[in-house]
Structure 1
Amino acid sequence: MSQGIINFNNDKVPDLEPIEKEVKFFVFVRNDDQEVIGGIRAICFWNTLHIELLWLSEECRGKGVGKELIDSAEKFAVEHGCEKAFVETTSWQAKPFYEKMGYHHIATINDRPKGHASHYLTKDLK
């Protein structure tokens, strides 16, 4: 099935970046005791940085650590040909944080998960 969609996509967009060019990566922050206190899990494909997960411990929130993580991930992504960034976050998570980092809200799905909302944001990296 996966090969079927790959073939379909390649027929429609012949110069589409091949799936094997995907670059998965992580960015971590550690405290003085070398414990992980924050991190990002992301993937670069189709000229886009996809932030899959961002987590910050309570001890480092509000201290610029999140900005450092985003800046590092975006720098890595640009070095790997990304021109855009994309992230999904939920109503109880980090929408205001991403907006502060220059991300623009493009869509919301209400009641996903039930009683909450999923927000989708993007940013030009050029």
Structure 2
Amino acid sequence: MKNAAKLIVLLTLCFTIISCKSEAEKKVEIVTNNYVRFVDSVTSRNKADAKANWNKIEKAFEKKTIELNFKMDNLEDSKNLGVKMDSATKKYKSFKQALFGFAIESDTSLFIE
């Protein structure tokens, strides 16, 4: 009986450790979601307002991109979050191109595996 109880405790502990996300993964997920929300808020703005405040928007975008890339570099497996980031980046670049009417470099992937 003692061995069965120890086994159950050990299995429960292992399952808990394996199933929980690490603190770093949670932080990167939060930063990624903030990045996606930022891009969504920028692309849903009035075009005239976006043009008028573009320098601030661009600086904030660069800051969020650098922060997200830094956080992702510390994770081993961040493929799913990289896909979210790439999608948001493409959306941002398309909005920028529509606003200013010039071609943007074709490689919009900021995520490096």
**TM-score range with shorter-chain normalisation?**
0.3 to 0.5
State TM-score, norm by structure 2.
0.37
If asked which structure has higher relative contact order (CA below 8 Å, sep 6+), I would say 2
More strand by percentage? 1
Radius of gyration: which is bigger?
2
State TM-score, norm by structure 1.
0.34
